[in-house]
């Protein structure tokens, strides 16, 4: 089974797995209701707004619904929590108000720092999760650290969207007996049912308490043999006749950029490459409580967070980068399928976009259309992928429909179309998720595509002439229980299958995998909290029936004291490449711990027999990637990330590759920070061991300075500067090379002002 390593993904996976697999203990309400569907907790309505200041001095809180959350759900199983939390709930015409009072026997040990939005995961934090349709299929999560720093997420059956950003209010402060967090969650940040009478919503309340281990403390009893998280949620009622208001949001932006580059790339004077000062606007209208229409004109799609560099040496396929742009993140979970049939990073520089998304009863719908100034193409194949960027406009459109079936299954379809001059790519998808019982579920997907490239593009990139027709299939079965899970996967991608709005960099193969895993859980005060062992067998053939791969994998996972973790994956396989069979085995390890609360140290390592794809020979690959984060006080943080990889073949060292990244941030308060990111990449290759002519050395250095003032995710001021240095030893002609000392090749100044007007 796959493992999850991104911090935010890991945190939310822990919450969901805690909900699925870790039973909870008692949670009691100190007013009317039991939290069941028959007797939900009643949330009181009030008419006077509450000031969000974490002081808890309004009289209204005395009449709030009060819930006591004191049961550890992970790593402990249904045991009393080491600390207690009280949560108070109220609502008025516009907002749901939540107050968390988290008690702590030693407040000096509370982990809290000022940081940017969505960067709070190493701190103490509290969260509320709300299932507004009360169907166990979709929930909204709002999370805060003790200083009120925010994060939020939308979780659905098709995955989570932790990059989603809502506009809401929060405050937090550390007290003599713990800390208090207040939230005001506007109803216009939620989708919900239309109802003249009281509604029933699903509810979970979570506290993350990191000390020697990270304790997760939950609200309600979990059934570890039930693979549906919010199906087990406690119930709250109220919210009669609530409306999201006019639910109109207009976010104008002004962005400017000035870029210079050298005339000869590494030589000559700097000349202007780009200078622009562009106004833009994005508009959002929730025309019903659960349907949203968005539009954007000349949008600002800039990313002030640079993509982390990835090693692109000895790779077969296009690299994957996640989406970070606000327009595409709005309602993104409505477009999700079990495979990446929609990957909006394929849109590079849009002129305009329009989007509709929401859910009405059992029907979920999503639609968007975007005109892009540039048409990016990926040409997948069995052993590699290629790419092109056409200087021509194209329009990409996606329509998604999904219908809930019975209590927890669904079926749907997706249609995507991308049209340009002498070019089109059209894709149709039928998919479904079938839950047979609490333990067994199956996902199915059938995809068909039709593609036509311009004649010159097809000739330049070795693509067939005329219309290309292809298809893909996935069937995934999972049986999950408290300790034992087993699964089976089948995937097939025909040679002419293309999805230019999706992300499928490889085709022409049939893949099967079957495996199992067994989990042991222990008390949190033991030297180990969780252990898991599993294994699988996999095979792969091309569409002509030739075997491409056969092999096995095994894995072991451990969690223990000091928030320590160890994940091992071993494998052995026979893989066919370039007409030859390669016998490969290896070990992949991820480990880390928190020596103390302000520092985390993690390490990713690989030792394996691997294929040199450039020269079609086997070799030995070794890679090591240490990651250190050190939080200095409540304002300053330092992150260091280095990747070193080397590859040996029979005739010697083929290459050494290094990527270093330093991230230094001073956070003045919740809204303001100054950040420097430095990234350095250095490749050294033995040119004589390559069949093709290559550059023996290559070096890049990237700097970015950024000042950020952020009232909310869309009311922002960014001022920044970035540059790139390039150096190395370049191939010129036979046995001739040119030495280039590191030289600044380009520099960019940029700014952005955004304002969110909401009504």
pLDDT on residue 662: 96
Instruction: Please check whether residue 473 lies inside any domain of the structure.
Output: yes
Instruction: Please check whether residue 434 lies inside any domain of the structure.
Output: yes
Instruction: Please check whether residue 591 lies inside any domain of the structure.
Output: no
Q: Are 15 and 117 contained in the same domain? A: yes
pLDDT on residue 28: 41
Domains in the chain, number: 2
Distance CA 177, CA 579 (A): 68
Residue 633 CB contacts under 8 Å (≥ 6 apart), including other chains: 113
Q: Are 20 and 107 contained in the same domain? A: yes
- How remote is the C-alpha of 123 from its chain's centroid? 19
DSSP 442-497: EEEEEEEEEEE--HHHHHHTTPPSS-EEEEEEEEEEEEE-SSEEEEEEEEEE-TT-
pLDDT on residue 300: 58
pLDDT on residue 732: 73
* Boundary (domain end) residue, out of 212, 238, 264: 238
Cβ pair 451, 437 in contact under 8 A: no
Cβ pair 441, 456 in contact under 8 A: no
Tokens of 328: 């595409």
Tokens of 719: 């001022």
Tokens of 261: 């580059």
Distance CA 592, CA 567 (A): 9
Residue 673 CB contacts under 8 Å (≥ 6 apart), including other chains: 115, 116, 665, 666, 667, 707, 708
702 by Cβ neighbours in 10 Å (0-12 / 13-18 / 19+) ranks as: middle
pLDDT on residue 411: 95
CATH classification of the domain holding 51:
2.60.40.1190
Q: Are 222 and 371 contained in the same domain? A: no
Residue 513 CB contacts under 8 Å (≥ 6 apart), including other chains: 487, 488, 489, 536, 537, 538
pLDDT on residue 318: 57
The model's pTM: 0.86
Q: Are 352 and 471 contained in the same domain? A: yes
Q: Are 36 and 122 contained in the same domain? A: yes
Q: Are 229 and 341 contained in the same domain? A: no
Distance CA 659, CA 645 (A): 9
Give the closest residue to 61 by CA, choosing from 97, 30, 104, 94.
Answer: 97
Q: What is the mean pLDDT, run by run of 10 residues, along the chain of 759 residues?
A: 38 39 38 83 91 92 94 90 96 95 96 94 96 90 97 80 85 97 94 85 96 93 79 91 82 90 90 88 86 83 49 57 74 84 86 90 92 91 88 94 90 95 95 92 96 93 92 96 95 96 92 97 92 98 96 97 96 94 97 94 97 92 97 96 96 94 96 94 92 90 93 91 90 78 92 88
Tokens of 570: 């071993």
* Structural domain span for residue 379: 315-480+491-507
pLDDT on residue 276: 85
* Boundary (domain end) residue, out of 438, 472, 507: 507
Instruction: Please check whether residue 370 lies inside any domain of the structure.
Output: yes
Q: Are 336 and 430 contained in the same domain? A: yes
β-bridge partners, 488: 477, 514
Sequence-separated contacts (24+) of 653-658 with Cβ below 8 Å: 653/686, 654/612, 654/615, 654/619, 654/685, 654/686, 654/689, 654/690, 655/313, 655/314, 655/683, 655/684, 655/685, 655/686, 656/683, 656/684, 657/311, 657/313, 657/681, 657/682, 657/683, 657/684, 658/682, 658/683
Give the closest residue to 504 by CA, choosing from 540, 470, 460.
Answer: 470
Q: Are 49 and 179 contained in the same domain? A: yes
**Looking at residue 242, what DSSP letter applies?**
-
Instruction: Please check whether residue 635 lies inside any domain of the structure.
Output: no
Give the closest residue to 165 by CA, choosing from 179, 177, 150, 178.
Answer: 150
Q: Are 126 and 13 contained in the same domain? A: yes
Instruction: Please check whether residue 604 lies inside any domain of the structure.
Output: no
Give the closest residue to 418 by CA, choosing from 399, 400, 449, 396.
Answer: 396
* Boundary (domain end) residue, out of 185, 203, 238: 238
Q: Are 229 and 370 contained in the same domain? A: no
- SS3 at position 303: coil
Q: Are 38 and 175 contained in the same domain? A: yes
pLDDT on residue 6: 40
Q: Are 319 and 218 contained in the same domain? A: no
pLDDT on residue 693: 87
């Amino acid at each position: 089974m796959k493992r999850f390593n991104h911090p935010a993904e890991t945190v939310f996976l822990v919450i969901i797995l805690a909900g699925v697999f870790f039973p909870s203990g008692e949670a009691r309400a100190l007013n009317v209701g039991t939290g069941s569907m028959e007797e939900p907790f009643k949330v009181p309505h009030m008419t006077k707004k509450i000031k969000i200041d974490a002081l808890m001095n309004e009289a209204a809180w005395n009449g709030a619904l009060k819930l006591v959350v004191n049961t550890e759900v992970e790593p402990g199983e249904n045991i009393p929590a080491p600390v207690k939390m009280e949560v108070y709930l109220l609502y008025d015409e516009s907002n749901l108000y939540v107050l968390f009072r988290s008690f702590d026997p030693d407040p000096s040990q509370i982990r809290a720092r000022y940081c940017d939005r969505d960067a709070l995961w190493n701190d103490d934090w509290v969260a509320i999760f709300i299932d507004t349709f009360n169907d166990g299929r979709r929930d909204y999560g709002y999370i805060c650290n003790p200083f009120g720093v925010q994060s939020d997420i939308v979780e659905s059956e098709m995955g989570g969207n932790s990059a989603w950003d809502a506009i809401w209010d929060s405050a937090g402060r550390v007290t003599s007996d713990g800390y208090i967090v207040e939230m005001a969650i506007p109803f216009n940040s939620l989708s919900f049912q239309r109802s003249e009478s009281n509604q029933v919503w699903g509810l979970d309340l979570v506290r993350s308490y990191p000390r020697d281990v990270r304790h997760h403390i939950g609200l309600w009893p979990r059934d570890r043999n039930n693979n549906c998280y919010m199906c087990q949620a406690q119930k709250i009622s109220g919210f009669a006749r609530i409306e999201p208001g006019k639910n109109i949001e207009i976010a104008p932006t002004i962005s400017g950029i000035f870029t210079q580059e050298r005339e000869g790339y590494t030589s000559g004077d700097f000349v202007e490459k780009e200078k622009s000062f562009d106004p833009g606007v994005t508009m959002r209208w929730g025309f019903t409580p659960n349907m949203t229409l968005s539009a954007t004109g000349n949008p600002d799609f800039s990313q002030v967070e640079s993509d982390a560099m990835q090693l692109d040496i000895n790779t077969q396929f296009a690299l994957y980068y996640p989406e970070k742009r606000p327009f595409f993140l709005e309602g993104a979970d409505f477009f999700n399928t079990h495979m990446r049939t929609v990957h909006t990073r394929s849109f590079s520089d849009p002129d305009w976009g329009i989007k509709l998304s929401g859910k009405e009863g059992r029907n979920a719908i999503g639609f968007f259309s975007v005109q892009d100034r540039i048409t990016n193409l990926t040409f997948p194949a069995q052993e590699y992928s290629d790419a092109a960027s056409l200087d021509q406009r194209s329009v990409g459109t996606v329509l998604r429909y999904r219908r809930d079936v019975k209590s927890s299954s669904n079926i749907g379809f997706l249609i995507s179309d991308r049209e340009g001059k002498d070019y089109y790519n059209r894709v149709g998808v039928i998919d479904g998720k079938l839950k047979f019982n609490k333990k067994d579920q199956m996902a199915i997907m059938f995809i068909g595509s039709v593609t036509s490239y311009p004649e010159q593009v097809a000739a330049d990139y070795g693509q067939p002439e005329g219309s290309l027709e292809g298809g893909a299939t996935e069937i995934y079965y999972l049986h999950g229980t408290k300790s034992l899970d087993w699964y089976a996967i089948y995937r097939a991608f025909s040679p002419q299958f293309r999805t230019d709005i999706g992300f499928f960099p490889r085709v022409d193969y049939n893949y099967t995998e079957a495996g199992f895993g067994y989990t042991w859980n222990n008390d949190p005060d033991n030297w180990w909290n969780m252990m898991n062992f599993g294994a699988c067998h996999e095979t792969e053939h091309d569409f002509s029936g030739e075997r491409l791969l056969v092999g096995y994998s095994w894995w072991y996972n451990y969690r223990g004291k000091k928030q320590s973790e160890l994940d091992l994956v071993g494998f052995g396989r026979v893989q066919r490449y370039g007409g030859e069979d390669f016998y490969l085995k290896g070990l992949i390890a991820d480990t880390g711990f928190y020596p103390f609360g302000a520092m985390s140290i993690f390490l990713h390592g690989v030792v394996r027999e691997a294929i040199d794809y450039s020269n079609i020979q086997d070799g030995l690959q070794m890679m090591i990637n240490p990651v250190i984060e050190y939080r200095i006080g409540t304002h300053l943080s330092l992150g260091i990330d280095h990747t070193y990889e080397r590859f040996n073949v029979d005739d010697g060292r083929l290459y050494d590759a290094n990527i270093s990244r330093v991230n230094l941030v001073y956070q003045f308060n919740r809204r303001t920070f100054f950040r420097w990111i430095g990234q350095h990449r250095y490749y050294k290759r033995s040119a004589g061991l390559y069949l093709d002519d290559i550059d023996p050395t290559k070096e890049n250095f990237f700097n970015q300075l950024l000042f950020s003032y952020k009232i909310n995710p869309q009311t922002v001021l960014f001022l920044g500067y970035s540059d790139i240095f390039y150096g190395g030893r370049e191939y010129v002609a036979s046995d001739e090379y040119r030495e280039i000392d590191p030289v600044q090749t380009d520099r960019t100044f940029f700014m952005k002002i955004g304002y969110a007007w909401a009504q």
